[in-house]
């Protein structure tokens, strides 16, 4: 096998800083770098120079087309390809690409979700280059990461609000750092999203309509062996999967995506890929690319990559852990404790900002990960519960409690700590075990938000997290900028935040029933179990006021997003329900009837041989399967009635509530009868591959 030169391969298809520094003039490079680092407006002449070199580089690397690559509210990426060719006077063609074409595109926006921001007949939309995220080549096309907005300027994508949220936290964090004498040009959040996924054989996948139409199995009895032995977790990777992972790594590395860690996950056929974290908007682009490439590479290897949050009932679903941190351009990680009292105090203030943000806006964090698929996963003893809480670990919890109670901290000299006066103890990273049941856990120098679903765009949760932390920092800056005794007022502020937001801190078992009671009844935390419960909270006054104050969203954009996400929830479950009806009527009922006929024939023939033949198996199976077919028929009729009712409901809020309260329950009832019938019907007569065949299909 040919050896891979990773340093030479890495970023070979990316117009990154190395390429720009080598190809652009010093003046053009300096101007572009200032735009990237300081968010200044790009000069038109600079854009032309960048476009010319970008085109030349792309053509040298085999590109024939270019596209503005953007992230509409569909949850996937979008692209419209234009070739570089233009006609020349002699009948040939020229390869052209201008600064104007680089900076702005004008795709048809009529078929993308807008949530009422524009009428269907208003087709015009605009894409605007995001120079902070590098252009790259994919499938012989130069892809230019862009934002996407309507003719009237409203954001129609996920990137625009993300960039706005990054500006908001940059502005407020710099105010705080100035008070500590920390100088920097900018503050940015960084993310490393760990991606879980399933791999199944393509041939087996193609025989399951539910997987093809919805991404998850709507029916299926558990096989004799699932994940009970925990033998798949971190186990030896199968050769076919190893080949896939090696191929995937190379494709990602070419695109400058920092794929770092790969391993088997808990469930059979489940795996994980983890990158090194990078600036949030770049990480968001990279993760969208990663999901796309995972599927493409799987197809090359005769497999299907499943990114649904819960493709199989009875085994763990797939999540995406969002490792979030905040730092300066000078290399300071603001969630790293530091070694001096002031560094510690600065760290604690930023820590408090996160604690307050998560408590004040727990509903925004919950709804940022709310989808029909993720509703099946959260709280299922495999993923964090729907209740948002923070895990800090023993040492940090002890320090915060000492500050809150004005008591000595047992881990250091027994003095009451006054921040900036007495020495706050220096503590190392990862001094406590992790809590796998916590939705939001501190892990040394970052927070891990573990509630995201596998197919989620990480933009949504990072928009809310950035904005909420920016709001905490704004409040702190407003207080401390007026302070006449900074150290005293800083101590008072941190103590107050710790005291006021104690309810969000929880280091125990998030799966326990007693935690649900304690969280909701004693602490007053929210338990938003479904998308229908969570998404309307986006329009709560406190949430709208905060997001609008930091210019992350406009009022119209918030209204539209709520409608779009609820509509997506309703449509997703409706497609699942229609798929169930289709499979039951066309396949399951005929298959069960066919097997019943065989059993009846066998029973009749056996009794003709001898009156003493009891046929207990045949008779008991016929009786139960006959009962089940009656139940299945009744349930499928009820499901059809529910689907019809859903069509007539007046608005998206009532529709989502009906899906939650009626449609999903009817689907569960139908599935239970079909799954029992599967256990009584011969495998030869069953119309679709079983769970065992799916989960153990890749060897």
Residue 19 has pLDDT above 80, yes or no: yes
Per-residue confidence (pLDDT) for residue 176, from 0 to 100:
97
Count of C-beta atoms within a 10 Å radius of residue 391: 27
For residue 186, the Cα-to-chain-centroid distance in whole angstroms is 26
Per-residue confidence (pLDDT) for residue 431, from 0 to 100:
46
Give the CB-side neighbour count of residue 672, counting CA atoms within 13 A: 9
Q: At what angle do helices 341-360 and 394-405 cross, to 10 degrees?
A: 90
| pLDDT tens per residue across span 26-60 | 999 999 998 888 778 888 889 999 999 999 999 99
Per-residue confidence (pLDDT) for residue 552, from 0 to 100:
98
| pLDDT tens per residue across span 223-234 | 888 887 777 888
Q: What confidence category does residue 383 fall into, taking pLDDT thresholds of 50, 70 and 90?
A: confident
- Between CA 226 and CA 692 the distance in angstroms is 8
Highest mean pLDDT among 91-95, 144-148, 525-529: 525-529
Residue 120 has pLDDT above 80, yes or no: no
| pLDDT tens per residue across span 559-585 | 999 999 999 999 999 999 999 999 999
* Alpha-carbon torsion angle 590, 594, 596, 601, nearest 10: 160
| pLDDT tens per residue across span 611-659 | 888 899 999 999 999 999 999 999 999 999 999 999 999 899 999 999 9
Lowest mean pLDDT among 425-429, 437-441, 541-545, 677-681: 425-429
Average confidence (pLDDT) over 394-406:
85
Per-residue confidence (pLDDT) for residue 381, from 0 to 100:
62
DSSP 110-146: TTS--TTSS-TT--BEEEEE-TTS-EEEETTEEEEEE
Per-residue confidence (pLDDT) for residue 342, from 0 to 100:
54
Average confidence (pLDDT) over 78-84:
88
Residue 425 has pLDDT above 60, yes or no: no
Structure tokens at 400: 């915060």
Per-residue confidence (pLDDT) for residue 114, from 0 to 100:
63
Residue 436 has pLDDT above 50, yes or no: yes
Per-residue confidence (pLDDT) for residue 422, from 0 to 100:
46
Per-residue confidence (pLDDT) for residue 639, from 0 to 100:
98
| pLDDT tens per residue across span 134-161 | 999 999 999 999 998 887 778 889 999 9
Average confidence (pLDDT) over 80-108:
77
Alpha helices in 314-457 (DSSP H): 341-360, 362-367, 372-375, 394-405
Residues 251/293, Cβ–Cβ less than 8 Å? yes
What separation, in Å, do the N-terminal and C-terminal C-alpha atoms of the chain show?
21
Assign 194 to helix, strand or coil: strand
Per-residue confidence (pLDDT) for residue 230, from 0 to 100:
74
499-534 burial: b if 16+ Cβ within 10 Å, else e = eebeebbbbeebbeeebbebbeeebebbebbbbbbb
Q: What confidence category does residue 413 fall into, taking pLDDT thresholds of 50, 70 and 90?
A: very low
| pLDDT tens per residue across span 249-284 | 999 999 999 999 999 998 999 999 999 989 999 999
Residue 432 has pLDDT above 60, yes or no: no
Angle at 280 between CA 277 and CA 284, to 5 degrees: 90
| pLDDT tens per residue across span 285-297 | 999 999 999 999 9
Residues 416/281, Cβ–Cβ less than 8 Å? no
Per-residue confidence (pLDDT) for residue 157, from 0 to 100:
92
| pLDDT tens per residue across span 529-550 | 999 999 999 999 999 999 999 9
Per-residue confidence (pLDDT) for residue 121, from 0 to 100:
47
Mean pLDDT, the chain, whole residue set: 90
Residue 331 has pLDDT above 70, yes or no: yes
3-state secondary structure 256-322: CCCEEEEEECCCCCEEEEEECCEEHHHHHHHHHHHHHHHHHHHHHCCEEEECCCCCCCCCCCCEEEE
Q: What confidence category does residue 417 fall into, taking pLDDT thresholds of 50, 70 and 90?
A: very low
Could you tell me which residue, 87 or 192, shows the higher pLDDT?
192
Q: What is the length of the chain?
A: 699
Pick from 161, 443, 140: which is nearest to 284 by CA? Answer: 161
Q: What confidence category does residue 319 fall into, taking pLDDT thresholds of 50, 70 and 90?
A: very high
Per-residue confidence (pLDDT) for residue 74, from 0 to 100:
84
């Amino acid at each position: 096998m040919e050896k891979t030169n990773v340093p030479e391969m890495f970023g070979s298809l990316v117009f990154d800083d190395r390429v720009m520094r080598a190809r652009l003039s010093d003046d053009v490079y300096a101007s572009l770098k200032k735009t990237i680092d300081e968010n200044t407006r790009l000069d038109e002449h600079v854009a032309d120079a960048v476009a010319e070199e970008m085109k030349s580089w792309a053509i040298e690397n085999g590109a024939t087309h270019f596209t503005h690559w953007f992230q509409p509210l569909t949850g996937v990426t979008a692209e419209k390809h234009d070739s570089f060719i233009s006609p020349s006077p002699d009948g040939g063609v020229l390869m052209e690409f201008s600064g104007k074409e680089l900076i702005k595109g004008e795709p048809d926006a009529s078929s993308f979700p807008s949530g009422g921001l524009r009428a269907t007949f208003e087709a015009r939309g605009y894409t605007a280059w995001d120079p902070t995220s590098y252009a790259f080549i994919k499938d012989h096309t130069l892809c230019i990461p862009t934002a996407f907005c309507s003719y009237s300027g409203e954001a129609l994508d996920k990137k625009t609000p993300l960039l706005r949220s990054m500006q908001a936290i940059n502005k407020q964090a710099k105010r705080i750092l100035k008070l500590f004498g920390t100088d920097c040009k900018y503050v940015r959040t960084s993310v490393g999203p760990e991606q879980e996924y399933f791999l199944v054989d393509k041939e087996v996948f193609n025989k399951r309509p539910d997987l093809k139409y919805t991404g998850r199995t709507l029916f299926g009895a558990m096989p004799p062996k699932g994940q009970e032995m925990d033998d798949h977790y971190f186990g030896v990777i199968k050769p076919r999967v190893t080949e896939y992972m090696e191929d995937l790594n190379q494709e990602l590395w070419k695109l400058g995506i920092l794929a770092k860690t790969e391993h088997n996950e808990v469930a059979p056929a489940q795996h994980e890929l983890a990158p090194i974290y990078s600036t949030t908007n770049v990480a968001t682009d990279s993760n969208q690319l990663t999901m796309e490439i995972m599927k493409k590479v799987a197809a090359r290897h005769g497999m299907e990559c499943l990114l649904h949050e819960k493709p199989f009932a009875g085994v763990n679903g797939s999540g995406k852990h969002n490792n979030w941190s905040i730092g300066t351009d000078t290399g300071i990680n603001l969630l790293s404790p530091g070694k001096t009292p002031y560094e510690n105090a600065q760290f604690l203030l930023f820590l408090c900002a996160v604690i307050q943000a998560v408590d004040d806006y727990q509903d925004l964090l919950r709804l940022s990960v709310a989808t029909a698929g993720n509703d099946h996963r959260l709280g299922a003893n495999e993923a964090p519960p729907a209740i948002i809480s923070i895990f800090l670990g023993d040492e940090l919890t002890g320090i915060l409690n000492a500050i809150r109670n004005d008591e000595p901290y047992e881990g250091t000299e027994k003095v009451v700590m006054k921040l900036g006066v007495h020495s706050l103890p220096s503590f190392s990273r990862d001094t406590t075990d992790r809590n796998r049941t916590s939705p939001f856990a501190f892990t040394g120098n970052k927070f891990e938000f573990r509630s995201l679903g596998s197919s989620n765009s990480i933009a949504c949760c990072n928009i809310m997290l950035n904005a909420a932390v920016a709001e905490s920092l704004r409040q702190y800056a407003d207080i401390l900028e007026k302070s006449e005794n900074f150290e005293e007022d800083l101590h008072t502020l941190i103590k107050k935040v710790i005291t006021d937001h104690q309810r969000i801190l929880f280091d125990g078992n998030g799966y326990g029933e007693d935690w649900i009671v304690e969280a909701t009844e004693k602490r007053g935390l929210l338990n938003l179990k479904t998308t229908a419960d969570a998404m309307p909270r986006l329009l709560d006054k406190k949430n709208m006021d905060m997001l609008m104050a930091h210019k992350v969203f406009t009022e119209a954009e918030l209204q539209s997003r709520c409608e779009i996400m609820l509509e997506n929830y309703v449509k997703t479950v409706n497609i699942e329900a229609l798929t169930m009806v289709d499979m039951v009527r066309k396949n399951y009922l005929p298959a069960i009837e066919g097997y019943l006929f065989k059993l009846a024939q066998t029973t009749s023939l056996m009794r003709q041989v001898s009156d003493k033949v009891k046929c207990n198996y045949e008779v008991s199976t016929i009786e139960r399967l006959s009962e089940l077919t009656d139940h299945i028929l009744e349930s499928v009729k009820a499901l059809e009635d529910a689907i019809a009712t859903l069509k007539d409901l007046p608005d998206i809020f009532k529709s989502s509530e009906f899906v939650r309260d009626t449609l999903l329950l009817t689907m569960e009832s139908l599935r239970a009868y079909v799954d029992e019938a599967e256990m009584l019907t011969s495998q030869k007569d069953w119309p679709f591959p079983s769970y065992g065949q799916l989960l153990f299909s890749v060897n």
